[in-house]
Amino acid sequence: MKKYQLIVVGGGPGGYTAAFRAAELGMSVAIVDDNDLGGVCLNWGCIPTKSLLKNAEVFELINNANSYGIEVGKPKIHFEKIINKTIQARKRLSKGLHFQVRKLGVDFFPGFATFIDQNSIEVDGNTLHGDTFIIATGSKAKHLHSIDHSGENVMTAKEIFSLKKLPESMTIIGAGEAKENILPNEDVEVSQWMHKVLKRKKVDIQTGTMATEINDEYILVSIGVEGNSSGFGLKKIGIEIGSNNHIIVDKNGKTNLDNIYAVGDVIGPPWLAHVSSSEGLYVVEHIAKLSPKKIDYDCVPACTYSKPEIGSIGLSQKILDERGIDYKVVKSFFNANGKAVASDSTEGFIKILVSDRNQILGAHIIGSNATEMISEFSLAMSNNLSVENILDSIHPHPTFSEAIFETLMQLR
pLDDT tens digit sequence for 104-121:
999 999 999 999 999 999
pLDDT tens digit sequence for 90-107:
999 999 999 999 999 999
Neighbour-count burial of 383, counting CB atoms closer than 10 A to its CB (0-12 exposed, 13-18 middle, 19+ buried): exposed
The answer to whether position 147 is within a domain reads no
The answer to whether position 374 is within a domain reads yes
The answer to whether position 333 is within a domain reads yes
Give yes or no: residues 214 and 237 share one domain. no
Give yes or no: residues 137 and 275 share one domain. yes
Give the pLDDT score at 1: 66
What is the chain's mean pLDDT, rounded? Answer: 94
Give yes or no: residues 264 and 302 share one domain. no
pLDDT tens digit sequence for 216-229:
999 999 888 999 99
- Specify the number of domains making up the chain: 3
DSSP 295-307: P-GGG--EEE-SS
Give yes or no: residues 257 and 198 share one domain. no
Domain boundary (223, 245, 278) is at 223
The answer to whether position 148 is within a domain reads no
Task: Name the active-site residue from 149, 246, 364, 397.
Answer: 397
Whole-angstrom Cα distance, residue 84 to residue 158? Answer: 15
Q: Is 397 a catalytic residue?
A: yes
Residue 410 CA: distances (Å) to CA of 68, 210, 388: 33, 43, 12
Give yes or no: residues 11 and 129 share one domain. yes
Give yes or no: residues 325 and 350 share one domain. yes
Give yes or no: residues 78 and 107 share one domain. yes
Give yes or no: residues 258 and 112 share one domain. yes
Give yes or no: residues 205 and 321 share one domain. no
**160 secondary structure, DSSP code:** G
Domain span at 200: 154-223
Q: Which amino acid is at 114?
A: T
With cut-offs at 50, 70 and 90, classify the pLDDT of residue 407: very high
Q: What is the CATH number of the domain that holds 212?
A: 3.50.50.60
Give yes or no: residues 380 and 316 share one domain. yes
Q: What is the CATH number of the domain that holds 380?
A: 3.30.390.30
The answer to whether residue 78 scores a pLDDT higher than 70 is yes
Nearest-5° angle of CA 56, CA 179, CA 276?
A: 60
Give yes or no: residues 111 and 176 share one domain. no
